[in-house]
Amino acid sequence: MAIQHGIRGQLLSNEPMSKHCSWRTGGVAETYFMPADKQDLQTFLAQTSAELPVYWIGLGSNLLVRDGGLKGVVIGALNRLNKLQLLPQELVYAEAGVSCAKLTRFCQQHNLDGAEFLAGIPGTVGGALAMNAGAFGSETWQFVESVEMMDRQGNLFEREAASFAVSYRSVDLAKDEWFSAGVFSFPIKLNDKPSVIKPLLAKRNSSQPIGLPSCGSVFKNPEGDYAARLIEACGLKGFCIGGACVSEKHANFIINDDQASASDIEKLIGYIQREVSEKHHIQLQTEVRIIGEKL
């Protein structure tokens, strides 16, 4: 792509996405940009051709990049769009690259309640907003007051939470618009209420394959049931295609067990869907986003 003027961030060519996705696999990004801050990203986008595809990622924990890689530009927001501040009336402003764990700690430090569930989400604020991430019975958009958006030209604008159609792991988002920040409203914590962060993390660690390359939950839970139960009932725990395996610990997790390709993982996703459909007459929908070119 053309040389960008006035850019302070880092611009890389043919960057392996395996370095930026929690599955530790996938093809290369034609261009990978790590902005110095939000203003730097605005400058960059204003100079970028409107025909060039643009993707935003945070921790890459809900993403599978196919082996053929990505044409266009990937924006690496993690720790780049990282402003986090307390606003009047106990509102919290968090930019898209702030990790969910960091937002949880910030709320704890300021005696705010309700953000504990975010400690169990291995992603960023931008990703949590984009998919209405949830855990332990809570969801991101329960606490959203408003959001700050950035469009394809780098323009910023605000929208109220009520202007979005939000559902389970889904938010209606216009093409070429992204969440650059969110404003959250968490209630003040009662002084005698104990912290539940450690128990929640202990529960997560005991039931999920933490520390192994995965994307978290692969499939959405169908209404009235659990994807993990359906997959386990098909006898698929431990089943592998290439280096990709269904976790023995939690059936809704796929592990990169032995240098899995993105193709291995995608084939396993399809196999699981077919088995569950055949045996339970339920079509599992993916939570994970699959993007890029096949080889």
Length of the chain equals 295
Spatial neighbors of 134 by CB under 8 A, at least 6 apart, are 117, 121, 140, 168, 169
CA angle, 150 then 154 then 155, to 5°: 65
Whether 32 and 123 share a structural domain: no
Residue tagged active-site, from 15, 139, 148, 287: 287
- Out of 22, 61, 146, 217, the active site residue is 217
pTM comes to 0.92
Residues 110 and 153 in one domain: yes
Q: Are residues 128 and 50 in the same domain?
A: no
Which region among 91-100, 133-142, 171-180, 198-207 has the lowest average model confidence (pLDDT)?
198-207
- Is 228 among the domain residues? yes
Any domain includes 41: yes
Per-residue pLDDT, 2: 61
Of 148, 169, 214, 266, catalytic: 169
Percent of the chain with pLDDT over 90: 86
**Is 180 among the residues known to form the active site?**
no
**Are 64 and 94 in the same domain?**
no
Please, which pLDDT band fits residue 4 given cuts at 50, 70 and 90? confident
Q: Give yes or no: residues 245 and 216 share one domain.
A: yes
What pLDDT, in 10s, does the model give residues 62-76?
999 999 999 999 999
Residue 136: pLDDT band with limits 50, 70, 90: confident
pLDDT of residue 210 exceeding 90, the answer is no
Residues 106 and 161 in one domain: yes
CA atoms within 13 A on the CB side of 131: 24
CATH of the domain at 55: 3.30.43.10
Q: Is there a single domain that holds both residue 91 and residue 170? A: yes
Residue 203, domain member (yes or no): no
Q: Which residue has the tokens 């993916």?
A: 286
Pairing of strands 254-256, 244-246: antiparallel
Given this model, what pLDDT does residue 1 score? 65
Q: Which of 157, 227, 143, 244 is nearest to 185 (CA)?
A: 143
Q: Find the CATH number of the domain harbouring 108.
A: 3.30.465.10
pLDDT digit string, tens, across residues 138-193 = 999 999 999 999 999 999 999 999 999 999 999 999 999 999 999 999 999 877 67
Both 57 and 135 in a single domain?
no
Radius of gyration of the chain from Cα atoms? Answer: 19
- Other C-beta atoms within 10 Å of 98: how many? 26
The question of whether 146 is a catalytic residue gets the answer no
Examine the domain organization and report whether 118 and 164 are in the same domain.
Answer: yes
The residue segments making up the domain with residue 34 are 10-76
Q: Is residue 192 part of a domain?
A: no
Residue 57 shares a structural domain with residue 93: no
Q: Are 76 and 34 in contact (CB under 8 A)?
A: yes
Does residue 205 form part of some domain? no
State whether 150 and 229 are in the same domain: no
The verdict on 16 and 43 lying in the same domain is yes
C-alpha distances (whole Å) from 64 to each of 90, 239, 293 are: 36, 19, 11
For the question of residue 169 being annotated catalytic, the response is: yes
What backbone phi and psi angles, to 5 degrees, belong to 56? -110, 140
Q: Are 232 and 250 in contact (CB under 8 A)?
A: no
Q: What's the structural domain count of the chain?
A: 3
In a domain, 199, yes or no: no
Structure confidence by residue, pLDDT tens digits, 16-54: 999 999 999 999 999 999 999 999 999 999 999 989 999
Question: What DSSP letter does each residue of 177-203 carry, written as one string?
Answer: EEEEEEEEE-PBPPTTPPP-HHHHHHH
pLDDT in tens, 248-273: 999 999 999 999 999 999 999 999 99
